[in-house]
Amino acid sequence: MQKNGNQKGSSANIINKLLSVFIGICIVVCLILSIIAIAKNITEEPPAEEYTPPPVVGDMTTPASITDPADPFTETVLTTAATAPAETSAETAETTATTAQTVTSDETAETAAQTETSTVSAAIAATPAADDYDKEFFSNWLFVGDSIFTGLYGYNYLSSSNVFAKIGLNPASVRTTDNNGTTVYQKLAVSKPDIICIMLGTNGLAYLSIDSMITDYGKFIDEIKELLPDTRIIILSLTPVTKVHSDTKPETLELVTSYNEALKTLAEEKETDYFDIFTDLSDDEGYSRPEYAENDGLHLKGAAYKRVLWLLEDYVKNGEEESGNE
């Protein structure tokens, strides 16, 4: 009896061990399958997303505000000039009018209207804008100034090689500050411009006296004359500010006009040109015209640069008496 009991206990132990082994094998198999499934998900590449490039808007080197033109017809001309027909003669205009009169369907009428619009746009495009200037005319000029002058090449009106400008420059710091590793004197020595056009002082109005800036301005002019005695120097007046800026910021209208008067006197003493752009860019009260002023009331929109360049070209070509700067 005791022997039979031992045999039954031994059999039960074997069965329990087998069950344990079987369960362990099942667990291992499940783990392996789970690992395989996870690995498969990881190695699977997600579906490629379709890429849509952003639309190209004009010249990407030109700030957005360059599209804000001086006259309201510029945008229309730019839009329609590319599609305007070459025929602008009286014969073409007569043919267009006849076609418009004889159309009977809505589709034909719409086509005739578009043709007439294109013909008018072509006529507008053929008329030069009042502020058109010759970029090549300034190819051997150098414009020296602060952040306001950076707009000359920022709006693509001039090449950056024709401009030495940096944020924060004033009549004192221009003589000691480099721009991308080049000083203004190095720039002058290399470029040897026929004409140097300077506009400095806006930054200093907030914390420098007019007398100290005029003193440094005079030293700068003397150093230019010593380096390039045959180069013509044009001192530009400061540009106007808006009424809001004048009422809330240190660069007031009164300071700007006082400084410009001092610049005019300096130009007479140094026997250089003084060119007044303040008057042309300001309204009847002396504040900046809205079509020329940026939102900060101090810097300029693209249209203002185009206007200034046209005025300068006219001034140098025709002299002060006949120029648009009278």
Least reliable range by pLDDT among 41-50, 183-192, 298-307: 41-50
- What is the band of 110 on the pLDDT scale with cuts at 50, 70, 90? low
Distance CA 273, CA 69 (A): 29
Clarify whether residues 100 and 152 are in a common domain.
no
CATH number at residue 263: 3.40.50.1110
pLDDT at residue number 32: 83
Clarify whether residues 80 and 154 are in a common domain.
no
| Helices assigned H by DSSP within the chain | 2-43, 74-81, 90-102, 106-126, 147-154, 184-191, 210-227, 243-248, 253-270, 278-281, 302-318
Clarify whether residues 83 and 141 are in a common domain.
no
Q: Which residues pair with 183 in a beta bridge?
A: 178
pLDDT surpasses 90 at 37: no
pLDDT at residue number 40: 60
Clarify whether residues 110 and 143 are in a common domain.
no
Mean pLDDT over all residues of the chain? Answer: 77
pLDDT at residue number 15: 80
Angle, helices 253-270/210-227, rounded to nearest 10 degrees: 30
Clarify whether residues 211 and 102 are in a common domain.
no
> What is this structure's pTM?
0.61
- Which residues constitute the domain of residue 120? 72-126
Clarify whether residues 271 and 219 are in a common domain.
yes
Clarify whether residues 95 and 195 are in a common domain.
no
Clarify whether residues 261 and 313 are in a common domain.
yes
Q: To which H or E segment does residue 234 belong?
A: strand 232-236
pLDDT in tens, 261-275: 999 999 999 999 999
Distance CA 267, CA 132 (A): 28
Report whether 96 contacts 119 (CB < 8 A).
yes
Domain assignment of residue 13, yes or no: no
Clarify whether residues 182 and 114 are in a common domain.
no
Clarify whether residues 117 and 247 are in a common domain.
no
Clarify whether residues 82 and 203 are in a common domain.
no
Domain assignment of residue 237, yes or no: yes
Clarify whether residues 246 and 267 are in a common domain.
yes
pLDDT surpasses 70 at 299: yes
- What is the band of 58 on the pLDDT scale with cuts at 50, 70, 90? very low
- What is the band of 76 on the pLDDT scale with cuts at 50, 70, 90? very low
- What is the band of 311 on the pLDDT scale with cuts at 50, 70, 90? very high
Contacting residues for 163 by C-beta, under 8 A, at least 6 apart: 142, 143, 145, 149, 150, 152, 153
Contacting residues for 216 by C-beta, under 8 A, at least 6 apart: 170, 171, 172, 175
Domain assignment of residue 88, yes or no: yes
- What is the band of 324 on the pLDDT scale with cuts at 50, 70, 90? very low
pLDDT in tens, 119-149: 434 433 333 455 789 999 999 999 999 999 9
Domain assignment of residue 6, yes or no: no
pLDDT at residue number 302: 94
For residues 195 and 44, which has the higher predicted lDDT (pLDDT)? 195
DSSP state of 300: B
For residues 35 and 257, which has the higher predicted lDDT (pLDDT)? 257
For residues 47 and 294, which has the higher predicted lDDT (pLDDT)? 294
pLDDT at residue number 112: 46
| Domains of the chain: total | 2
pLDDT at residue number 202: 95
Q: What is the largest CA-CA distance in the chain?
A: 140
- Cβ neighbours of 158 (radius 10 Å): 21
Which amino acid is located at 4 in the chain? N
